[in-house]
Amino acid sequence: MHSRRWPGRRLAAIALIIVAGLAVAGYRTDRVDLPILGERPGYGPASVSPVPNLAAIDRLIWVPDLDDGWDPQGLTVAARNLFVSAYRSRQLGESRGPCRMFRIDAATGRLLDHIDIPAPCGHAGGLAYAGGATLYLADTHTLFQYDWTAPVPKFRVIPLGRGVRGAFAASGRGDVWLGTYERGRPGRILQFRTVVLDALADAAPLDADMAVRELPIPSYAQGAAVDSSGKLWISRSGIAWGWLDRLDPRTGAVEKRYPTAGGIEGIAFDEAGRLWGVSETGVRHIPLRYPFFPLIFRIDPARLVPDG
């Protein structure tokens, strides 16, 4: 999330209003009865909050190290591995801090390991996997390239140049997408070939004119993913609301819109076509008791019920 300047009481009131509004509008907000894998944080209410389209969710995993203040942002999938990027925050309104990437077993929810991301990372807004052993982590003004199979961690740092911001990232076959977050107005997303990224000289910037495609995207975009048919999905959210927009990949027009968990951030498809997402609603530095859903979750897109 990119802005949290409202007082906690006002946020809590807005959260209650929005969740109640979803229920009135007919969106299912059933009680969460699925088991939650991973390690539960030591704070928060006894149960997580209900969310729209819960019937489409078939796996839940706690975000790692919530007690230590980590706030999840990016997510990608490589085989049985879930990768989640996060920054650590100690207080409301603090949206930059040390960055970390977690590797989680997608089947068991077990935290396998983590790696700290070097400076200048401060938000860790997006993750992308384009095949092989390379991960890409997008920060606001920097793209980090990382071989997750290497025995010794090593990052290549690519500055983001003219017309490029790394609010979030999306994976493609041989592609990395980088998008912008805009409040109340459309953003945009750029598609880059990994061969172009690999060919950049050390410290050379990645500019917008190196992209093979640019598309408009809706406001409040927090993550993106490309499905097996080539459709582009955008996750959009505030702390108490969330949407999944499926776009026409030629024009960027919204084809379908699905309500989902508030605070949804990074999203990614796995090899089976399931859509994974991560929510920051309920992380420790946000003083809200409701909603509370600091989870990684897996969605069956065929079971999503659209808006309207």
Torsion sign (Cα): 255, 258, 263, 265 = negative
pLDDT digits (tens, 9 = 90+) for 44-59: 998 999 999 999 999 9
With 0-12 / 13-18 / 19 or more C-beta atoms within 10 angstroms meaning exposed / middle / buried, residue 90 is: exposed
pLDDT at 16: 41
Distance CA 60, CA 76 (A): 16
Judged by DSSP in three states, 197 sits in helix
Between 247 and 14, the more confident residue is: 247
Rounded mean pLDDT, 18-37: 57
Distance CA 233, CA 248 (A): 9
Region of residue 280 (phi > 0: left; psi between -120 and 50: alpha; otherwise: beta): alpha
What is this structure's pTM? Answer: 0.89
Task: Write the CB contacts of 239 (distance below 8 Å, at least 6 apart in sequence).
Answer: 1, 4, 11, 15, 262, 263, 280, 281, 286, 288
**What confidence tier does 27 reach under pLDDT thresholds 50, 70, 90?**
very low
Q: State yes or no: pLDDT of 291 exceeds 90.
A: no
Mean pLDDT across the chain, nearest whole number?
89
Distance CA 100, CA 66 (A): 12
pLDDT digits (tens, 9 = 90+) for 107-151: 999 999 999 999 999 999 999 998 888 999 999 999 999 998 888
Q: State yes or no: pLDDT of 79 exceeds 90.
A: no
263: Cα separation from own chain's centroid: 9
Distance CA 226, CA 14 (A): 32
Rounded mean pLDDT, 243-263: 95
Q: State yes or no: pLDDT of 261 exceeds 70.
A: yes
Distance CA 37, CA 20 (A): 27
